[in-house]
Amino acid sequence: MTDIAHSTVPPVPPECKTTGVVTVPQPLITARGVNVFYGDKRALKDVSIDIANNQVLAMIGPSGCGKSTFLRCFNRMNDTIDGARVTGLLQLEGQDIYEKRQDVVQLRARIGMVFQKPNPFPKSIYDNVAYGPRIHGLAADRIELDEIVQTSLKRAGLWEEVKDRLAAPGTSLSGGQQQRLCIARTIAVNPEVILMDEPCSALDPIATARIEDLIDELRASYAIIIVTHSMQQAARVSQRTAYFHLGDLIEVGETDRIFTNPRHKLTEDYITGRFG
């Protein structure tokens, strides 16, 4: 990973009303005054936050608060939605994500994504994991590709369960296994950041626990941003928590602090279960 000059980290705009500290030392990603519009509707309002490496950031908030929208800004998935427009500054290691010259394909190779519903390709388990390395040309030959597939499946904790049936369709696995397959597929291209959009909302508690353990292990190598509806999950897996409300980033802070001592009234109401 290239070392970045700290002087290039842009300052937080003064109109930022977020409670808590939005900046971190040596941020991997910086967002400054990010707005997202769907047509005329402003779905995200002036969000500024830093993302640190080797850390899990949980984004929580009631439905429609803009947390998923914000997540999809990082790898420009909002590009695929007609009428969606992003303003403000988003930098990955000092490089503008929304710059005209930015290659979206390269960006998405660096910022992987795991979706709400497990969505393996309707191909074999092997081909699912090998897809990313193949399109990005990461393996010189079959042996190297085999190795990448094996390592990725091992790191996703799926290898022992599927090593005898790599040719079986990915869709034949259980929901929790499918989601781990999707994680294996994402880490196969060796990204720097993993975005997770409610990765456990379609899974049972046991599968959820396995994914949460996995997230904790993966933190050692990646920056992870997870959107979740479950406050318990946020408390379990994350080090930092960001609370969104109606498109505003209300409060950011250490997870322990947010859940024990929220400073903003809205945050307190949400985590004590008064709405959401």
- The amino acid at residue 171 is T
- Kindly tell me which residue out of 42, 45, 117, 257 binds another protein, with binding defined by CB under 8 A: 117
H or E element in which residue 216 lies: helix 205-218
| CA 135-89-136 angle, 5° bins | 5
Smaller CB distance to another protein: residue 19 or 179?
179
What count of other Cβ atoms lies within 10 Å of the Cβ of residue 43? 20
- Contact pick of 121, 139, 230, 276 for another protein (by CB under 8 A): 121
Shortest distance, CB of residue 105 to another protein, whole angstroms? 5
Tell me which of 45, 136, 229, 257 binds another protein, using CB under 8 A: 136
86 binds another protein (CB under 8 A): no
When the beta carbons of 120 and 247 are compared against another protein, the nearer one is 120
- Residue 58's beta-bridge partner residues? 226, 241
Q: Minimum distance from CB of 90 to another protein (Å)?
A: 17
Q: Phi and psi for 50 in degrees, rounded to 5? A: -105, 150
Give the pairing type, strands 84-92 and 95-96: antiparallel
Give the position of tokens 């479950």: 230
17 CB-side CA count, 13 A: 8
Q: Which is nearer to another protein, 54 or 106 (CB)?
A: 106
Report the residue from 19, 30, 53, 75 that binds another protein according to the rule CB under 8 A. Answer: 75
Residue from 29, 92, 113, 203 in contact with another protein (CB under 8 A): 113
* The binder of another protein chosen from 20, 61, 66, 120 (CB under 8 A): 120
Nearest to another protein of 21, 135 (CB atom): 135
Residue 117, φ and ψ in degrees, nearest 5 = -95, 130
What is the amino acid identity at position 62?
A: P
- Of residues 172-191, those binding another protein (CB under 8 A): 182, 185-186, 189
Which helix (H) or strand (E) segment is 58 a member of?
strand 56-60
Tell me which residues touch another protein (CB under 8 A): 75, 77, 80, 82, 104-109, 112-113, 115, 117, 119-124, 131-132, 135-136, 169, 171, 182, 185-186, 189
